[in-house]
Amino acid sequence: MTGTDWPLWEVFVRSRRGLSHTHAGSLHAPDAEMALRNARDLYTRRSEGVSIWVVPSSAITASSPDEKDPFFEPAADKAYRHPTFYEIPEGVRHL
């Protein structure tokens, strides 16, 4: 298997500042272990992260940006999801 035949991996990094992983980029690697090592070398060179996830691109299913209106339309009719039906008590911060 040559480098051009290697599968594509998506890289997610959790930084020291946040609690969630964010997409950092993509890379080609022959297996998960090599993808993890390459991701560490490429995306955390200056100790920017505390955790790395690598996921085969073929394992990700995503919605199409072209279909965003019909795909997310059902959520618009659920007004109870919006915080407009209650008042925030005085003294409550960071809500």
Domain ranges for the chain, please list them: 8-81
Per-residue model confidence (pLDDT) at position 19: 80
- Which residue stretches of the chain have pLDDT < 50? none
Fold of the domain built from segment(s) 8-81: Ubiquitin-like (UB roll) (3.10.20)
**CA proximity to 49, closest of 10, 29, 87, 21:** 21
User: 18: which 2 tokens?
Assistant: 């946040």
Per-residue model confidence (pLDDT) at position 92: 84
| Cβ–Cβ < 8 Å for 3, 33 | no
> Is the whole model's pTM more than 0.95, yes or no?
no
d(CA 76, CA 78): 6
**Alpha-helical segments (H) within the chain:** 32-43, 68-76
Per-residue model confidence (pLDDT) at position 46: 79
